[in-house]
Structure 1
Amino acid sequence: MPFADIVRAAADQFHRDSIPVLRRRGWRPRAIAYDGYGSAAPDRSGVPAPDAPSRDMARVLARMVMRPPNAPSEGPLFQRLPEQLPTTARDARRQAAQNLLEAQRGWRMFIDVPVPHLPVTVHLGAASVQTRADREGYVDVVVRGHGLPPGWHDATLEATGTEPVTTRVFVVAPGPRLGVVCDIDDTVMVSHVPRMFVAAWNQLVKYTSSREPVPGMAQLLTQVLQEHPGTPVIYLSTGAWNVVPTYRAFFERNGFPQGPMLMTDWGPTNTGLFRSGIEHKRTGLRRLMIDLPEVKWLLVGDDGQHDPLIYGEVAREHSDRVAAVAIRRLTPTEQVLAGTQLTHPVGLAPEVRALAESGVPVAAGADGFELARALHPEALAVQPQR
């Protein structure tokens, strides 16, 4: 038996053995909801089309985990200063104790106990779907026939033995439209730690103030949204699902647009001990192109790892679905921390010739301000139907 299968079986058995013990201590299942995305059926009259149930869809994401009865909510942490600073030593001690308790969530989520195969019902608009969590507690379900108009909407998840949880889904308007796929680590935020330790850093250190935004990236994405209203912004990252609350807080604190995050999970798979970040991004991009067939994408990443290679492959194979590629050039120090060699002088490594072969416009710059200047407006001119 392959070693990865042994590790995976041991992890599954540990989770199965842990759940009864935690239940006796008062722990119960809880749904951790993540933002999703979807499409609306073509409808120009304001009346749902007869074929709407087969033309609209939504992807709803969540995870079922065990939590103690007094566990805090799974919302963003440390996204702002307290409304009132402590005025006495007693208040300061109380606030410090509360911050310490909440900070423990960082490494408590690092050892989440998932609830596998739990029955879940998802309600969105006019549709409801019954499904089950997978072996790691994840719910990734497509809801069709929701009948909702474009924009943000609430979906409700009901699972056996849990309180109902509401999550959000961004429904994209029908017709040709621009969309944005954006990497996170080293593209919109810099952690100043080696890439091999970023995952642990994100898990164990929950203070979003310890991360710095890349200058101009929030402004770049916001400008795209202002010039192209209704643009979906999807953050595609190799980071773990556990750190989504941290990223949400970082985005809100630094003015980044809201958008679904497509993350990955740690642990053994059917093919190895660790998941492939490259395959995660390849699969994520192809899934987006299938789910949202009328969207033409602006792909934003950095040259510290494999974004130019992945984006180049996608642009060459589906040049009609890629509006432009924007690559942030890392500094020499960031290149070292990212675990890669220094980049080609023009900012794109030689092995990504696929970008040039695709004929898709490519912009490179040290930050969001340079990328905004390098991106020509005509490259993003995808006119939506109104």
Structure 2
Amino acid sequence: MPRPHAAALLEDAYNRRKADVLRSRGWVTRLVPLTGYGSVSQLRVFGRVILTGGRPEDEPDAPTYAARLRAVELETRGWRAFFSTPAVDEPVTVRVNERIITTRTDRGGFIDLTVRGHGLAPGWHHIYIGSPKAETIDVPVLVVGTTVTHGIISDIDDTVLSTSLPRPLIAAWNTFVRSEGARRAVPGMATMYRELLAAHPDAPVIYLSTGAWNTAPWLTRFLRRNGYPPGPMLLTDWGPTNTGWFRSGQEHKTAQLHRLARELPHVKWLLVGDDGQHDPKIYTEFTTRRPDRVRGIAIRELSPGEQVLSHVIPVANDDLLPAPTEDLDVPVVRAPDGYGLARQVRELWQGDIPARTLARRASATVPSWEDPPAYLLPDPDER
């Protein structure tokens, strides 16, 4: 086995030293709830264990998942989320019904555990995660049934949430300074997702992003507060890895797309992203290899100003190095927000429409998001 990268060794040494100091000062461990998913045959369970200065017996009761999520988010919001101390190699117990599985956290304090033969029926469930030095918590998991044929895989940054990533100064300001309430949802996206789920209520929504797991608690609250449907998030662990200083966001997204295709082979996905980064390229490459797993691609077009904030120049990366979306056998639609995308996505969501047919329809009508139809207007609680 190759020796870990020097950056990973330095980070591990720093985390061990910091954890020893904090434990000597009375800090204890806390479990962070993360939503899992799976099929009827296997379940993917996520969680994280961090060190916290508050002792469980001194904290107010948090009987619900939302309350515990809020407690973690308040403790690790903003810049604190990126300086939380992981509990490395901490024993963790996962209980699914009467079955108990034991595992240990990785170098970032995370668990990513596959449980086979879980016995859960399709739908939403709660399982239990515990650790010897932390209070046991229940976390939601979504089991996708074998009869489900529709699903949504959605990017987060600049697709459902305006973040102006990855320009360093803007990203740092949004991440470390601005609060959850100051973030802005992309107009119409939540409404479009709810409309699609109204036609297929069992369709899973998977939020796939290159964002850090550290932000999962406040991201979950943001999605809920702005009317987005619940769903598992597939994020990544920022920082050094065993192979280099930083992990590849594109590789992360590509790997997760192919894993979802293997785990849920009966689902055809609507892939939703934006043209600010590499979503058109990633989705095109995946669709070329797995056309039977893709129902269509929906790309949110950033404005010139958003493109500048995203990567300095006022044009999309897709314009500089175009992904050959016109050669795909699945529909590809584009619009500046959810209202324009919804008009085009509705037909391909309801049935299999030839890509070129839908392309001709889309080119004949320029979507306008200044005057959306009444049934697509946001609900009052989405504003």
Q: How does the TM-score come out when normalised to structure 1?
A: 0.82
Q: What residue number does 2:342 align with? A: 372
Q: Deviations over 1:235-282 (max 9, x none)?
A: 001111111122112112211111111111111112221111111111
Q: What residue number does 1:210 align with? A: 182
| Residue segments in structure 2 that go unaligned for 5+ positions in a row | 60-66, 353-383
Q: 1: CA distance between counterparts of 2:229 and 2:260? A: 19
**Closer/same/farther in 2, CA of residues 120 and 193 from structure 1, 3 Å limit:** closer
Q: 2: CA distance between counterparts of 1:106 and 1:9? A: 26
Q: What residue number does 1:145 align with? A: 117
Task: Please tell me whether residue 172 in structure 1 is matched to residue 144 in structure 2.
Answer: yes
Q: 1: CA distance between counterparts of 2:203 and 2:133? A: 37
Q: 2: CA distance between counterparts of 1:77 and 1:23? A: 20
Q: 2: CA distance between counterparts of 1:313 and 1:22? A: 46
Q: 1: CA distance between counterparts of 2:38 and 2:3? A: 38
Q: Deviations over 1:89-124 (max 9, x none)?
A: xxxxxxxxxxxxx47743222211111111211111
Match of 1:67 among 49, 52, 56: 52
Q: 1: CA distance between counterparts of 2:182 and 2:4? A: 34
CA RMSD in angstroms comes to 2.5
CA contact (8 A) 2:148 2:202 kept: no
Q: 1: CA distance between counterparts of 2:221 and 2:99? A: 31
Task: Please tell me whether residue 27 in structure 1 is matched to residue 27 in structure 2.
Answer: yes
Q: Deviations over 1:155-189 (max 9, x none)?
A: 11122211112111011111251110001111011
**Closer/same/farther in 2, CA of residues 302 and 194 from structure 1, 3 Å limit:** same
Q: What residue number does 1:85 align with? A: none
* Count of residue pairs brought into register by the alignment: 342
Q: What residue number does 2:63 align with? A: none
Match of 2:319 among 325, 349, 361: 349
Q: 2: CA distance between counterparts of 1:156 and 1:22? A: 27
**Closer/same/farther in 2, CA of residues 198 and 128 from structure 1, 3 Å limit:** farther
Specify the code of the residue in structure 2 equivalent to 1:22. Answer: L
5 Å-filtered alignment, 1:253-272, equals 253-272=225-244
Match of 2:215 among 231, 234, 243: 243
Q: Quick check: 206-215 or 373-382, which moved more?
A: 373-382
SS of residue matched to 1:180: strand
Specify the code of the residue in structure 2 equivalent to 1:75. Answer: L
Q: 2: CA distance between counterparts of 1:314 and 1:193? A: 23
Task: Please tell me whether residue 183 in structure 1 is matched to residue 168 in structure 2.
Answer: no
**Closer/same/farther in 2, CA of residues 8 and 378 from structure 1, 3 Å limit:** closer
Task: Please tell me whether residue 323 in structure 1 is matched to residue 308 in structure 2.
Answer: no
Specify the code of the residue in structure 1 equivalent to 2:302. Answer: L
Q: 1: CA distance between counterparts of 2:279 and 2:312? A: 12
Q: 2: CA distance between counterparts of 1:305 and 1:215? A: 19
Q: CA deviation at 1:77?
A: 7.6
Q: Deviations over 1:281-324 (max 9, x none)?
A: 11111111111111110000000000000000011111110000
Q: What residue number does 1:381 align with? A: 351
CA contact (8 A) 1:35 1:168 kept: yes
Q: How does the TM-score come out when normalised to structure 2?
A: 0.83
CA contact (8 A) 1:343 1:349 kept: yes
Q: Quick check: 306-315 or 114-123, which moved more?
A: 114-123
Q: CA deviation at 1:138?
A: 0.9
| % same residue | 44
**Closer/same/farther in 2, CA of residues 31 and 103 from structure 1, 3 Å limit:** closer
Q: 1: CA distance between counterparts of 2:229 and 2:173? A: 24
SS of residue matched to 1:75: helix
CA contact (8 A) 2:32 2:69 kept: no
SS of residue matched to 1:123: strand
Q: 1: CA distance between counterparts of 2:55 and 2:131? A: 19
Q: CA deviation at 1:340?
A: 5.6
CA contact (8 A) 2:7 2:241 kept: no
Q: What residue number does 1:157 align with? A: 129
Q: CA deviation at 1:217?
A: 0.2
**Closer/same/farther in 2, CA of residues 139 and 110 from structure 1, 3 Å limit:** same
Specify the code of the residue in structure 1 equivalent to 2:52. Answer: R
Q: 2: CA distance between counterparts of 1:206 and 1:341? A: 24
CA contact (8 A) 1:126 1:147 kept: no
Q: CA deviation at 1:194?
A: 5.8
| Residue segments in structure 1 that go unaligned for 5+ positions in a row | 41-55, 80-101
Q: 1: CA distance between counterparts of 2:104 and 2:281? A: 35
Task: Please tell me whether residue 136 in structure 1 is matched to residue 130 in structure 2.
Answer: no
Q: 2: CA distance between counterparts of 1:201 and 1:287? A: 33
Q: What residue number does 2:358 align with? A: none
